[in-house]
Amino acid sequence: MSGPRPIEAPAPSSIPGVAWGRVTRHGDLRGSFRELWRASAFGTFDPDLAGRPEPAFAQVNLSTSSRDVLRGLHFHRRQLDHWVVVAGRALVALVDVRPLVAGTAERPLVEVREAPADTTVTIPAGVAHGFLALEPLELVYLVTNEFDGSDELGFAWDDPLAAVPWPAAPGTADGRPILSDRDRSNPSLLELVARLRAG
């Protein structure tokens, strides 16, 4: 007889290749235990979704963000991300850029979900991603490519073509999120698409 499933079955997504799920938390008076990833539960990698042949997780990162921090929108051609919200709550935005690059759509498919602790989301290559920390946030993410900077692309978090419905950041004076220099200077989505089409 098998033990409890460490990760719930993925929830459906409107974006092909995206999978949402939840990690099971086992707790008692001492604290809790969570299994964040298990190869047999995750299944095999689809090279098309990972953007590379023979994909496997190559690096694990931990990101911490204060409330009102927005990270994104980031884009990878050769990397699949698997996110686990360890603590806090985020608003996650996914923007499927693949149909725009292929010329089969004029607008991207956008999906936005609130992600409390223990939420997981698998993000294929070609799907831009970002999040707004709704409260102090810890995010673990497994990726199929070691960081070298060559596949770190992105576009403006408030791009009108993507039209992500970001809420106001209540903890800032102007209601705008806290951004990195990189995210403040990202190009428009159309500029990114033109660059990707050019090769």
Reported as a single tens digit per residue, the pLDDT across 80-120 is 999 999 999 999 999 999 999 999 999 999 999 999 999 99
Q: How many whole angstroms separate alpha carbon 187 and alpha carbon 42?
A: 34
Decide: 13 and 122 in contact? Cβ < 8 Å.
no
Q: How many whole angstroms separate alpha carbon 88 and alpha carbon 93?
A: 16
Is 31 part of any domain?
no
Decide: 87 and 118 in contact? Cβ < 8 Å.
no
Is 10 part of any domain?
no
- Catalytically active residues are 74, 141
Is 165 part of any domain?
yes
Residue 77's pLDDT is what? 95
**Segments forming the whole domain that contains residue 51:** 19-25+45-198
Decide: 80 and 127 in contact? Cβ < 8 Å.
no
Is 81 part of any domain?
yes
Residue 64's pLDDT is what? 98
Is 12 part of any domain?
no
CATH code where residue 145 lies:
2.60.120.10
Is 178 part of any domain?
yes
Residue 40's pLDDT is what? 82
Q: What is the DSSP letter of 149?
A: S
Q: How many domains does the chain have?
A: 1
Residues of the chain with pLDDT under 70: 1-10
Nearest alpha-carbon partner for 149 in 61, 78, 51: 78
